[in-house]
Chain A
Amino acid sequence: MGSRILALVGDCYGARGGIARYNQDLFDSLADGSVEILILARHGDARGMVLPTGVRQNPPIFGRFSFSLASIVAAWRFRPIDTVFCGHVFMAPLGFLLARLFGAHYWLQAHGTDIWKDRRGLVRRLIEYADLVTTVSRETRRILLAWVDLPPERVRVLPDTVQDVFAPGPAPAALRDRLKLGAGPILLTVGRLASNERYKGHEPVFSVLAGLREKFPDLIHVVAGDGDDRARLEAVADELAPGAVRFLGFVPDADLPDLYRLADLYVMPSTEEGFGIVYLEAAACGLRVVGGKGGGTADAIPDERVGVIVDPTDRPALAAAIEEQLQRGRADPAAVEPYRQAHFVAAARALYARLSTQPRRMTSGL
């Protein structure tokens, strides 16, 4: 009999966003035919979707209490369980409880901001029980190790992967006309415009546009994404760089590759990305990137073949980086190769194989 994983996640199949994507990539990878995975999610409905062989996802349950209760019941029915995968630090208590009850390996996934602020007390102790903690970036791992007592070998990095749809291609001229972007260079930012995600760095870019337009008179900054901060950002853009910013609203994933191929530079001097997969997706389409210092960005902008990292509070440096990168042409998609799915699949399977051979730290309480 193959091994059995019970996965507790916020969102996965049928849900949107970076974490959902990551979880899907992970379970797609682990599903090698010999593994059975039962996913219990709080968001996203996978009914009607074709999932990989051996993977099932129960209908979502949002309420914390009912989710916990339903998880215990589902786990009981799913037993024996080899591994409890816990996709969010907030679920660590439930993950720990189930792993303890069923004597399973306890695998905890940390994405970034969820563990950047240290949580003393119970959550910390429950993290320390994990047999394996995976983080998406080296920086998240470093921050986690600063406040939890885990041996470093137990905390592994499994970076995000870039989907194959992100690849170089001809710049779609029709899209440029349709969006009425003119003939000048295009700066692009893709991301939620949320008031609690102002670290993404839209405003610093707006503030250097006027200066940049002295050298590139037709330069335009295209902002894709929507959120509760949009109206405010539009006002700021109007004030700092009238006419230079075009807000597109939400852009579906399927349309992103064309947008990357159309643009001349991806600019997002974000300081708190858990990883920043969007930089790699842009680079995979041949777009050079300017990222922000802080968080996991250094893992997503591996070297100068892709772009540079700047401190967004240093406005002259930001402006200089944008100007310099614009003149350097396209990114080298070869730099993105190690982030492609084949590598992710191999890394994920190797990690799971390693976990499976480790002695379990918790024996069944049943």
Chain B
Amino acid sequence: MCGIAGIHAYLDVAPRVDRGELVRMNDRMVARGPDGSGLWLSEDDRTGFGHLRLAIIDLSEGGAQPMHSDDGRLTITFNGEIYNYRELRAELQARGRTFRSGSDTEVLLQLYAEYGAAMVSRLRGMFAFGLWDADKRTLLLARDPLGIKPLYWADDGWTVRFASQAKALLAGGAVSRDPDPAGIVGFHLFGSVPEPFTVWRSIQSLPAGTTLTVDATGPGIPQRYYDHTAALVERAASSLGSAGSHARVAEAVRDSVRNHLVADVPVAVFLSAGIDSGALLGTMAGLGVRDITAVTLGFQEFEGLSLDEAPLAAEVAARYGARHIVRTVDRAEFERDLPALLDAMDLPTVDGINTWFVAKAAHEAGIKVALSGLGADECFGGYPSFTDVPRSVHWLRPVSWLPGLGALARRALTGAIAAGLRVHPKTAGVLQYGGNWAGAYLLRRSVYMPWELDDVLDPALVEEGLRRLKPLSRIAAAIHGGHMLGDFDRVSALETSLYMRNQLLRDADWAGMSHSIEIRVPFVDPVFLAALPPGPVLAGMNAKDAIAGVPNPPLPDSVRHRRKTGFSTPHGRWLRDAAGAPRQHGIDLSAASRAWALNVWRAGWTGPAAV
């Protein structure tokens, strides 16, 4: 894990790399790498890399970065973990290559020397890196297939810069803070900023599963090397039926967990009361891992309610012999942490608070690496969207053929809601949006709908933002080429490429790294996904129950039959209280609430005063 940064002055007229800028970029990400920092400038000062190290594999100086190849031709700054690095190392050794360290970083250098940019498709893991090839004078930027590790880049036309965090690019001082309406509108629609946008026009997120090569003409067109929808199509086309599907799921989970345990430090687990994280813990124990630490988050407000995860988590921890830490967070701590949390938040998001506190708890317990169940809902159909979205599309498609009816109904309903009709404002768009996949998904996941944005943002900005963002086309693109896919796979593709990538994974990165915690996600892994049975089989088998049965003994019935609550925090209520708003009865589960979105946005992002 770690933080990376780099500057490359590709045009002859561009000034030489400013070491001070690299230092400022590194400094902004210091929590990402408490175990060491490195800085490298090429002899001609046209290229420079920064690196912050959280040592997990090869804790010696042999793993220090930026790392160079023996002949000095290649230099890399790398963030992430390569789980199959030992296999790749053995393969390269068989081809006559010799290694001087035990690190996965060196494997990347040698693999590039062997295969060039195509090496990325050989990697199993999470990664983002910048690699300078002094012979070809090219800079290769790459990001893992599903977007676990972030990578942002900015090009001013003379010089390209990259970093693990967008705010690090800004902190360098040379990147413009001009707002990007597309990203701003994207945040208000989705609750997170969809890649490749950020909220700054000059900063791009390198899309998951792509590489970018910078040569003397500057950054080229990002090249996709992994397509999640295509992978689902391929899996669906495999002729395997439902026979043995439980065993296939079990084997896929075990294999992925085994791979995600590769580390030279202990690996812990974030444990909720749900099936996914419990199955991870049980599988770890079954693989022979001893002295596992499990960390669970509790909130005083939830004590005695079904929302309280601690009691069930304790039962699961005891079942698999884990050391269990329950960390209780109260409102005072939330309010104390809020400024730091908003400062660490790399792009605006309506989530990430839970991860912030669970990572904080893990850090307090001396943990460096933890497994998380993130991604299981996307591949095993754990969200209500798996039923809601297809149902909406099938029922409302005929209505959507009637031109103008949806818009008319929306206007009428919006009027009625304004006049006091007590339904959620998004309901007004059901007829207009619900009859196609993109629209139905937007309705399901949106914080605000497009027609509501003029109430919270400058209408001119909304118009510009929607024009460039093209939210419906962007959603539809996530299932482009997937017309062969069944309902389950389509929703899985949408959730994986949009919600998981732009929100869950990004939040896990900044919130985890703020506390120097590497979060590993065994359910987010192309090898694992390819090993699962096809979507229709998963849809028909109660896949969640199947993974509950992977460990031996299986998860207790209390966990298997618990109604899904999602990760919840009472911060919606805390914020309202802080603002002096009238208290509502009961618990307000507005984790993705509009109020919180506006709070986050008003914390200030673009323009000279931001960050």
What residues make up the interface of A, taking CB atoms closer than 8 Å to B? 135, 137-138, 141-142, 145-147, 149, 151-157, 159, 299, 302-303, 338-339, 343, 346-347, 350-351, 354, 358
In the complex the two chains form, what is the Cα distance from A339 to B221 in whole Å?
26
Q: Is the CB of B157 within 8 A of A135?
A: yes
In the complex the two chains form, what is the Cα distance from A138 to B156 in whole Å?
6
Q: Is the CB of A157 within 8 A of B157?
A: yes
- Across the two chains, which residue of chain A brings its CB closest to B176? A142
Within the complex, what minimum Cβ distance (angstroms) separates A177 from chain B? Answer: 38
- The yes or no answer to B155 lying at the interface (CB within 8 A) is yes
In the complex the two chains form, what is the Cα distance from A152 to B161 in whole Å?
13
Q: Is the CB of A156 within 8 A of B178?
A: no
- Across the two chains, which residue of chain A brings its CB closest to B202? A142
Q: How many residues of B contact A (CB 8 A)?
A: 25
Among B13, B158, B218, B464, the residue within 8 A (CB) of A153 is B218
- The yes or no answer to B531 lying at the interface (CB within 8 A) is no
- Across the two chains, which residue of chain A brings its CB closest to B463? A120
Residues of A near B158 (CB, < 8 A) are 138, 157, 299
- CB proximity to A under 8 Å, residues B201-235: 201-202, 204, 212, 215-222
- Across the two chains, which residue of chain A brings its CB closest to B204? A152
Give the dominant DSSP class at B's interface. loop
In the complex the two chains form, what is the Cα distance from A302 to B13 in whole Å?
8
Within the complex, what minimum Cβ distance (angstroms) separates A139 from chain B? Answer: 9
In the complex the two chains form, what is the Cα distance from A151 to B48 in whole Å?
25
- Give per-residue flags for B181-208: 1 if the beta carbon is below 8 A from chain A beta carbons, else 0: 0000000000000000000011010000
Q: A152-B155, A152-B202, A153-B221 are in contact. List 16 more A-B contacts (CB 8 A).
A: A138-B158, A142-B176, A146-B201, A154-B221, A156-B157, A157-B218, A302-B15, A303-B15, A338-B12, A338-B13, A343-B12, A343-B13, A347-B11, A347-B217, A354-B215, A354-B217
In the complex the two chains form, what is the Cα distance from A155 to B158 in whole Å?
11
Q: Can you list 18 A-B contacts (CB < 8 A)?
A: A138-B158, A142-B157, A142-B202, A151-B221, A152-B155, A152-B219, A153-B155, A153-B219, A153-B220, A156-B157, A156-B217, A156-B218, A157-B11, A159-B11, A302-B13, A302-B15, A343-B13, A354-B220
- The yes or no answer to B467 lying at the interface (CB within 8 A) is yes
Among A146, A299, A303, A351, the residue within 8 A (CB) of B178 is A146
Within the complex, what minimum Cβ distance (angstroms) separates A331 from chain B? Answer: 16
Q: Is the CB of A299 within 8 A of B13?
A: yes
Residues of A near B323 (CB, < 8 A) are none
Q: Is the CB of B15 within 8 A of A347?
A: no
Within the complex, what minimum Cβ distance (angstroms) separates B231 from chain A? Answer: 24
Q: Is the CB of B13 within 8 A of A141?
A: no
- The yes or no answer to B474 lying at the interface (CB within 8 A) is no
Q: Is the CB of B467 within 8 A of A149?
A: yes
- The yes or no answer to B468 lying at the interface (CB within 8 A) is yes
Residues of A near B157 (CB, < 8 A) are 135, 137-138, 141-142, 155-157
- Across the two chains, which residue of chain B brings its CB closest to A354? B217
Q: Is the CB of A346 within 8 A of B216?
A: yes
- Across the two chains, which residue of chain A brings its CB closest to B181? A146
In the complex the two chains form, what is the Cα distance from A155 to B155 in whole Å?
10
In the complex the two chains form, what is the Cα distance from A154 to B222 in whole Å?
11
Within the complex, what minimum Cβ distance (angstroms) separates B147 from chain A? Answer: 18
In the complex the two chains form, what is the Cα distance from A168 to B222 in whole Å?
44
In the complex the two chains form, what is the Cα distance from A338 to B218 in whole Å?
16
What residues make up the interface of B, taking CB atoms closer than 8 Å to A? 11-13, 15, 155-158, 176, 178, 201-202, 204, 212, 215-222, 464, 467-468
Give the dominant DSSP class at A's interface. helix
In the complex the two chains form, what is the Cα distance from A157 to B13 in whole Å?
10
Counting from the closest, the 6 A-B pairs by CB-CB distance are: A157-B157, A338-B12, A138-B157, A343-B12, A338-B13, A141-B157
Q: Is the CB of B13 within 8 A of A142?
A: no
Residues of B near A338 (CB, < 8 A) are 12-13
Within the complex, what minimum Cβ distance (angstroms) separates A10 from chain B? Answer: 23
Q: Is the CB of B12 within 8 A of A141?
A: no
In the complex the two chains form, what is the Cα distance from A343 to B14 in whole Å?
12
Within the complex, what minimum Cβ distance (angstroms) separates B184 from chain A? Answer: 13
Among B215, B222, B467, the residue within 8 A (CB) of A350 is B215
Within the complex, what minimum Cβ distance (angstroms) separates B410 from chain A? Answer: 26
Q: Is the CB of A149 within 8 A of B468?
A: yes
Residues of A near B11 (CB, < 8 A) are 157, 159, 347
Residues of A near B222 (CB, < 8 A) are 153
Within the complex, what minimum Cβ distance (angstroms) separates A173 from chain B? Answer: 34
Q: Is the CB of B156 within 8 A of A141?
A: yes
Residues of A near B15 (CB, < 8 A) are 302-303
Given A153-B221, A156-B218, A350-B216, A145 contacting B201 (CB threshold 8 A): yes
Residues of A near B156 (CB, < 8 A) are 138, 141-142
Residues of B near A302 (CB, < 8 A) are 13, 15
Given A142-B176, A347-B216, A159 contacting B13 (CB threshold 8 A): yes
Within the complex, what minimum Cβ distance (angstroms) separates B99 from chain A? Answer: 35
Q: Is the CB of A347 within 8 A of B155?
A: no
Within the complex, what minimum Cβ distance (angstroms) separates A116 from chain B? Answer: 14
Q: Is the CB of A350 within 8 A of B217?
A: yes
- Across the two chains, which residue of chain B brings its CB closest to A128? B468
Within the complex, what minimum Cβ distance (angstroms) separates A360 from chain B? Answer: 13
In the complex the two chains form, what is the Cα distance from A153 to B220 in whole Å?
6
Within the complex, what minimum Cβ distance (angstroms) separates B469 from chain A? Answer: 9
Within the complex, what minimum Cβ distance (angstroms) separates B399 from chain A? Answer: 32
Residues of B near A153 (CB, < 8 A) are 155, 212, 218-222
Given A149-B467, A350-B215, A358 contacting B13 (CB threshold 8 A): no
